[in-house]
Amino acid sequence: SKTAMVGLVRSASVELRGFGIRVNMISPDGAPTNVLAQAVHMLESEPLSLDLAERKAKEFSPLPDRFLTTLDVAQAALFIATDDSGFISGHNLMVDCGNTVTKPYDNARWYTTHAPLFREAAKTGMD
């Protein structure tokens, strides 16, 4: 789980800092890719193309006319790997435009309106 990884990164950063080794992690939000489009297609009844995934991402993005791309994640990784981040260690860099704060509401809305299993569970209740 991501929580376990955060703990591992923090512990490793403390143990390895004496050797000049920095340990960090990157936690990106979902970026529209072919893999994501295929995964959503498995949950939904209609196919999802990469083009449609990008349009939807732009529509729901917190930034106007912009959505997270794999290049954004790559640039974060490059920053963490360079000397520009030389005093950063034990950090979980969230590449999500603040969605960590707002995502629980959005995820709940998605599950209750799109995923049949969760929609049925919401109607009948789960023990």
Q: What pTM was computed for the model? A: 0.69
Model pLDDT for residues 95-122, shown as the tens digit of each residue: 988 777 776 555 555 545 545 544 454 4
Residue 79: band (very low, low, confident or very high) from pLDDT cuts 50, 70, 90: very high
pLDDT above 60 for 94: yes
pLDDT above 60 for 124: no
Residue 52: band (very low, low, confident or very high) from pLDDT cuts 50, 70, 90: confident
Per-residue tokens: 23: 């340990």
What 3-state class would DSSP assign to 61? coil
d(CA 47, CA 39): 10
Closest CA to 86 of 17, 37, 39: 17
Q: How many CA atoms lie within 13 A of 118 on its CB side?
A: 11
